[in-house]
Amino acid sequence: MKKIEHQVFLKNNKLDKKLLLQPIQEKIEIFDRMHKLLETVSDCEKGSLYEQLEELDLEILEDIDEEYADKLEFNEIEDALEEQPELEKVAPKKEAAKPANDEAILEELVRMGRVRNIAGSTFRDLGVKTQLGWNTVIGKYRVVRTSVFRYRYEVERI
């Protein structure tokens, strides 16, 4: 596999996987697991695994493009891929600069349109320090828990 196209696309558009929709995040996790298997499978099975990885990579890229095409800078997939050098292995992702406070994090989520069905772990990963309850006010935003058995939240502007 020469290029991991969805990673190139995410990098060009400065997108964090954790801000993508849950189904897309799950596909990326499956892709990463399959990519790790390349080192352990025999040579005769690698061809089949490469094909599956390329199909999944294209599917992830199409899903991202379908959901976020109107919000992205480099939404021309082909142009973005032609400009990038070929990648051999997945490089460990460096932590991006995170907004300084909780309100800035919420503002960024609202700006991206990611305000519904957000997992509690996503808030933690993004650096929200405020303990979230059922109705938590953070600056000019309210974070409302929407599920009883799962930690899912919506962000509302007050």
- Average pLDDT of span 90-115: 72
In order of 5, 14, 64, 120, the CA distances from 61 in angstroms are 7, 14, 5, 26
Is residue 106 predicted with pLDDT exceeding 50? Answer: yes
**Quick one: which of 76, 147, 71, 135 has its CA closest to 109?**
71
- Average pLDDT of span 46-56: 83
Higher pLDDT, 41 or 96: 41
Phi and psi dihedrals of 58, rounded to 5?
-65, -40
Confidence label for 70 from pLDDT (cuts 50, 70 and 90): low
Q: Can you give the pTM of this predicted structure?
A: 0.45
Task: Count Cα atoms within 13 angstroms, Cβ side, for 134.
Answer: 3
Phi and psi dihedrals of 82, rounded to 5?
-65, -35
Residue 53's pLDDT is 86
Is residue 32 predicted with pLDDT exceeding 70? Answer: yes
Q: Are the CB atoms for 121 and 128 separated by under 8 Å? A: no
Query: What's the CA gap between 118 and 66, in Å, rounded?
Result: 19
